[in-house]
Amino acid sequence: MRILLLSVLLLISFPLFAQLPFYLGIDGQYCRLDFQKGYGDSLFSNTTPGINPIIGAKINDSFAIEAGYHFSHSSKTTTLQSGPIVGNPNLLAFVSAVTFVSKTTFKEPHLKFLVFTPKLANQPVQFFAGIGITNTRARFKFKAVQAGIFPVNRERTVEKCRSLQTLTIGALYNLNDTLSMRGTIVFKNTARLGGFANDGFQSALYGIPEIKPKNSINYGLGIFYTY
């Protein structure tokens, strides 16, 4: 239902882009995403860099609607795990310590409605807030590469696609009438992205089959040009 709503809102937004002043921009993103204890917290990095190209339409000086596509891809993280996260406490120590290589990927088309503070004379700064929706496709991939002294090669992937709500706050600095910079903080209910690896492997030696992320925060800094 939310995906259908996002599609309808996007269709409505295109005529707005054609009739109203619009702007283009790009954000550099820094995502902070933590995991519940025992469900990915010691496997994955909790920070992920990304980029976020944006097109927006200015309804007036106080309101705007914008669409974008956020993409982030973490660097590979290598961790040595032992104990409950890899399961069986009866395994001998030399095979129960497992080395994992893991990474996360996010692909997120999104739509936002923003409200700005009034633009005052001789005051280049405006603050804004907004609500939105994003169709988030998340991939959590991790591979067991060594069990104690023995090499292994077993990869697990947890993928989830959901529509998530977003809450945005930020500040805009107008360099001139057409060029501006802005910083944003975006809150997302990414706790809904938890899921299972559907690979059929039951052995805990290959890592936990379930991932449970917490809600996340994206920090962004970008530059924008208004036509």
Residue ranges of domains in the chain, CATH in brackets: 2-226 (2.40.160.20)
Tokens of 155: 């990869």
8 Å CB contact between 173 and 180: yes
pLDDT above 90: residue 110: yes
Give the confidence band of 86 by pLDDT, cuts at 50, 70, 90.
very low
Select, from the ranges 14-23, 44-53, 72-81, 196-205, the one with the highest average predicted confidence (pLDDT): 44-53
Give percent of the chain above pLDDT 70. Answer: 77
Which pLDDT value is given to residue 120? 80
Which pLDDT value is given to residue 141? 86
- Cβ contacts of 54 within 8 Å, gap of 6 or more: 23, 24, 25, 26, 27, 66, 67, 68, 222, 224
* Per-residue buried b or exposed e for 65-87, using 16+ beta carbons within 10 Å of the residue's own CB: bbbbebebebeeeeeebeeebbb
Cα(155)–Cα(199) distance, rounded to whole angstroms? 9
Give the amino acid at 182. R
The pTM of the full predicted model, rounded to 2 decimals, is 0.80
pLDDT above 80: residue 105: yes
Strand pairing partners for 39?
A: none
pLDDT above 90: residue 3: no
Long-range contacts from 116-125, C-beta under 8 angstroms, 24+ separation? 116/61, 116/62, 116/63, 116/64, 116/172, 117/62, 118/61, 118/62, 119/61, 119/174, 124/173, 124/174, 124/175, 125/171, 125/172, 125/173, 125/174
Which pLDDT value is given to residue 31? 92
pLDDT in tens, 34-65: 998 878 887 888 888 999 999 998 888 899 99
Give the confidence band of 152 by pLDDT, cuts at 50, 70, 90.
confident
Give the confidence band of 107 by pLDDT, cuts at 50, 70, 90.
very high
- Cβ contacts of 133 within 8 Å, gap of 6 or more: 2, 5, 6, 9, 110, 111, 163, 164, 165, 166
pLDDT in tens, 170-212: 999 999 989 999 999 999 999 998 877 665 555 455 556 678 8
Which pLDDT value is given to residue 80? 64
Cα(211)–Cα(8) distance, rounded to whole angstroms? 31
Which pLDDT value is given to residue 70? 93
Give the confidence band of 12 by pLDDT, cuts at 50, 70, 90.
low
